[in-house]
Amino acid sequence: MSWEKWSEKDDAILRENYPAMGSHVVTLLPNRTAKSCVKRARQLGLSSVSRGRKKEPEWTDEEIAILREKYNQLGDDIVSVLPLHSAASCARKVHELNREVRNPNRWTRSEDVLIRESFPSLGSEVFVKLSGRSRKECQQRAIKLGCQYSPSAPWTEDETSIVADMYKQYGISVLEFLPNHTEEDCRQKAYALSIECVDDEDSIGVPAPSKKGVSSTGWLPEEIEIITRYYPTVGTAVYKMLPGRSKDACRVKAKELGVKYADVSKPWSQEEVDILVAEYPRRGVGVADLLPGRTPSACEKKAQTLHLSCQAAFTNNWGEYRGQHW
């Protein structure tokens, strides 16, 4: 019986025959089961030839082509033209290839290797290397394989907001407002946010019209001048001076120009106050021309705190000043 204690004679039979026979050694030990023989062999540190056989090499594209062409004709004799593979290995590979024919969308090992190697740097652009695969299919396969795309630069909160607010309508055209990122960065960020462009699969989107906050033709010189002059003090509120431009568009353009928003509550220097006191009575809000970083509105408010009034032909009203200049 299999539960009986192993005798020295049984162990000797096992040591002599298990390496060649494996579990079939049970035919020499009628009172034992195959399972008990394998267990005892492990306890004795024995292994069979079948357990230690060398792993067969990977299949190359050339070998697979030979297998497809010759197997039906040669059968097991296929090993004569594929010496690195056994007849059993060839039969298994044929079965695998037949499954692929029945399921043409099944991903191959070589495709998965390409996804793992290239997706981190190329993102969904890897589809150009995979004939018959779409960008979306590659994106989904990469997620299943645990592959992650590495953007060209970290995403800021403002940049993420731009994609969230604008990508669905404008697609890749939104790239105009993201100078630190590539097209693929935008696609991947949109995918992560579960946003799809209303246009085609590649999310090219529609060119953003100049009167809807996005310009596909660039910024006009006078618009850039307004950003440069007023963004430091009013921040994204400068969009009110730029019909057709959104807050996000102004923020991104200011960043591109190296213009930073400064808190409007920053103290006035004595030099600025002196200029305001000397010139406001003559120039009104036009004194802002002499005070870089100060808006007409800021000058008007500061003048009120100093009890200054305009006595000349220059307008003393910011609304009128703006109307005259834009």
160 and 124 in a common domain: no
283 and 309 in a common domain: yes
pLDDT of residue 274: 92
**Is a pLDDT exceeding 70 seen at residue 214?**
no
Region 233-251: what's the mean pLDDT? 78
pLDDT of residue 223: 86
Q: Which amino acid is at 262?
A: A
Q: Please name which of 150, 68, 129, 219 lies closest in space to residue 78, comparing C-alpha atoms.
A: 68
pLDDT of residue 194: 78
Q: For residue range 24-72, what is the model confidence (pLDDT) as tens digits? A: 777 788 788 888 888 888 888 888 765 444 556 788 888 888 888 888 8
> Considering the domain boundaries, does residue 264 fall inside one?
no
pTM of the model: 0.32
**Is a pLDDT exceeding 60 seen at residue 315?**
no
What percent of the chain is modeled with pLDDT above 90?
2
> Considering the domain boundaries, does residue 6 fall inside one?
yes
> Considering the domain boundaries, does residue 253 fall inside one?
yes
274 and 305 in a common domain: yes
The total of structural domains in the chain comes to: 6
> Considering the domain boundaries, does residue 320 fall inside one?
yes
> Considering the domain boundaries, does residue 69 fall inside one?
yes
> Considering the domain boundaries, does residue 170 fall inside one?
yes
Q: Please name which of 303, 306, 305, 242 lies closest in space to residue 318, comparing C-alpha atoms.
A: 303
229 and 187 in a common domain: no
| Cβ(284)–Cβ(314) below 8 Å | yes
> Considering the domain boundaries, does residue 263 fall inside one?
no
Q: Per residue in 180-216, is it b (16+ CB within 10 Å) or e — as a string?
A: ebbbbbbbbbbbeeebebebeebbebeebebeebbbe
Give the residue with greater pLDDT, 26 vs 199. 26
**Is a pLDDT exceeding 60 seen at residue 267?**
yes
| Cβ(312)–Cβ(283) below 8 Å | yes
> Considering the domain boundaries, does residue 243 fall inside one?
yes
Give the residue with greater pLDDT, 81 vs 158. 81
Which residue range(s) make up the domain with 250? 221-257
138 and 157 in a common domain: no
**Is a pLDDT exceeding 60 seen at residue 207?**
no
Give the residue with greater pLDDT, 317 vs 8. 8
CA 11 to chain centre: 61
Average pLDDT, the chain: 77
